C-alpha cells in the first residue's frame, strides 16, 4: 500500500473523478434530428428488435426516455450502430405519437395497464367454434378493448369442421363486425388464409385469442415459411391450450402491404383501464342519443336517454342491447 508523508505534493496524488457528479446536470435533452426512423418488431428482456429501412436492428431504450417504454408496433427514432450486424446495438431516443393502443390489465381490479400493441389498425379476435369452446365474454372484452383503443375489430372463427358458427354469429350480428369462418382443412390447403388475407391488406392487424384456438397456426399460414412460429395443442383434460407465443411479434405479409402481430394467448383480459364513456364511440347510431343523458351516465340506468331515443325509432333496440352487454362485461368474468 502506498503511504503519503508530510512532504507529499498534491501532484503525487491521482484524483479520481466523481462518477456520479462528473457531468453537470441539465434538463435539456438532445433533439437527435439525424435519428433514423424504425418500427419495433418485438421486445425481449429490454432488447428491442426494430426494422430500419430494410435492416433488422437490435436496440435498447435511451435513459433519457425515463419510464416510457416502447412496444411492438411503435414508430421510433434510433441512433448509434444501425448496420444490423451481429453484436451491434442501437439506441431508441424517441417514441413517436401513437395512433392506437391495444391495452389490457391482468384483472379488472388491477390498476396497472399494459400496452400490448401500438399503432395497429385492426384487432383480429380469433376464437375456436369447438375444442376449446367459444368464450363470448372474452370476445366481448376484446371488443371493448378494441373500441377503446381505436382499432377496428375483425372476428375470426376457426375449426368450423367441429361446430357451426351460427350461434356465435347471432350474438354479434347487430354489431356489424366483419368476420371470417375457417376450418382446419382450409388452413392446411390455404383457402382459409386467402380469405383472411383479404381483410388484412394495407393494415397492421393484431391477432389475439384464447390459448389453443389456432391463432398462431393461422398466423403461420399467412406469413412466409422462414418466419413461422411454434404451435401448441389443447389439453384433453382441461380443454386449455398451451402458450407457445411468449411475446408479441410483428410479421410482414408476403406480396402485400400489411403486417400481422401475433400476441401471446390470453386466459383473461382485464378492462380496469377502460373508460366506459369511450365505448359508445363504437356505436355512432346511438351516440347522438346520449345528449340527453345525465352527467356520467353509465347508459344502463333509469334516466338514460338512450331508451327514449330507441323507442322513438332512431336506432335498432338490438344495438342498444349490444352496447349494454359490452359495457356490462366489466362486471362479469370471462367464464360467465
* List of residues 6+ apart from 163 with CB closer than 8 A: 129, 130
Half-sphere exposure of 201 (CA within 13 A, CB side): 7
Q: How far is CA 198 from the centre of its chain?
A: 21
**C-alpha to C-alpha distance for 262 and 237, rounded to whole angstroms:** 26
What pLDDT, on a 0 to 100 scale, did the predictor assign at position 131? 92
Q: Is the pLDDT of residue 189 over 50?
A: yes
Q: Is the pLDDT of residue 230 over 50?
A: no
> What values do phi and psi take at 278, rounded to 5?
-85, -20
* List of residues 6+ apart from 306 with CB closer than 8 A: 286, 289, 290, 293, 299, 320, 323
pLDDT tens, position by position, 1-47: 444 455 544 444 444 555 555 555 555 556 688 899 999 999 998 89
Residue 52 — very low, low, confident or very high, per pLDDT cuts 50/70/90? Answer: very high
pLDDT tens, position by position, 100-138: 999 988 776 666 788 999 999 999 999 999 999 999 888
Least confident of 23-32, 192-201, 286-295, 309-318: 23-32
Q: What beta strand segments (E) does 159-268 contain?
A: 179-181, 204-209, 249-252, 259-262
- Winning range, highest mean pLDDT, from 83-92, 177-186, 228-237, 273-282: 83-92
Are 258 and 204 in contact, with CB atoms under 8 Å apart? Answer: yes
- Winning range, highest mean pLDDT, from 208-217, 223-232, 305-314: 305-314
pLDDT tens, position by position, 243-285: 344 589 999 998 889 999 999 877 678 887 787 777 888 888 8
Using a cut of 0.85, tell me whether the model's pTM lies above it: no
Q: Is the pLDDT of residue 64 over 70?
A: yes
Amino acid at each position: 500500500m502506498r503511504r503519503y508523508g508530510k512532504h507529499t505534493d498534491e501532484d503525487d496524488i491521482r484524483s479520481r473523478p466523481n462518477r456520479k457528479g462528473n457531468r453537470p446536470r441539465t434538463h435539456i435533452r438532445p433533439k437527435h434530428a439525424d435519428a433514423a426512423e424504425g418500427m419495433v418488431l418485438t421486445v425481449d428482456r429490454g432488447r428491442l428488435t426494430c426494422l430500419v429501412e430494410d435492416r433488422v436492428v437490435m436496440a435498447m431504450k435511451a435513459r433519457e426516455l425515463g419510464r416510457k417504454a416502447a412496444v411492438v408496433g411503435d414508430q421510433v427514432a434510433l441512433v448509434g450502430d444501425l448496420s444490423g450486424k451481429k453484436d451491434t446495438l442501437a439506441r431508441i431516443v424517441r417514441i413517436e405519437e401513437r395512433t392506437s393502443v391495444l391495452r389490457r390489465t391482468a384483472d379488472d381490479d388491477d390498476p396497472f395497464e399494459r400496452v400490448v400493441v401500438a399503432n395497429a389498425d385492426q384487432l383480429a379476435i380469433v376464437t375456436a367454434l369447438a375444442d376449446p369452446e367459444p368464450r363470448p365474454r372474452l370476445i366481448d372484452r376484446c371488443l371493448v378493448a378494441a373500441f377503446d383503443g381505436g382499432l377496428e375489430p375483425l372476428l375470426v372463427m376457426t375449426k368450423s369442421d367441429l361446430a357451426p358458427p351460427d350461434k356465435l354469429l347471432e350474438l354479434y350480428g347487430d354489431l356489424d363486425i366483419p368476420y371470417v369462418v375457417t376450418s382446419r382443412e382450409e388452413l392446411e390447403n390455404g383457402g382459409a388464409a386467402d380469405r383472411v388475407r383479404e381483410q388484412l391488406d394495407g393494415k397492421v392487424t393484431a391477432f389475439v385469442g384464447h390459448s389453443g384456438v389456432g391463432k398462431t397456426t393461422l398466423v403461420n399460414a399467412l406469413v412466409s415459411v422462414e418466419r413461422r412460429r411454434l404451435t401448441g395443442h389443447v389439453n384433453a383434460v382441461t380443454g386449455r391450450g398451451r402458450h407457445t407465443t411468449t411475446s408479441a411479434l410483428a410479421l410482414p405479409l408476403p406480396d402485400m402491404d400489411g403486417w400481422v402481430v401475433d400476441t401471446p394467448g390470453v386466459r383473461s383480459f382485464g378492462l380496469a383501464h377502460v373508460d366506459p364513456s369511450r365505448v359508445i364511440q363504437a356505436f355512432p347510431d346511438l351516440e347522438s342519443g346520449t345528449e340527453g343523458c345525465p352527467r356520467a351516465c353509465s347508459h344502463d340506468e333509469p334516466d338514460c336517454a338512450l331508451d327514449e331515443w330507441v323507442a322513438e325509432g332512431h336506432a335498432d333496440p338490438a344495438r342498444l342491447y349490444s352496447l349494454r352487454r359490452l359495457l356490462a362485461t366489466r362486471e362479469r368474468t370471462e367464464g360467465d
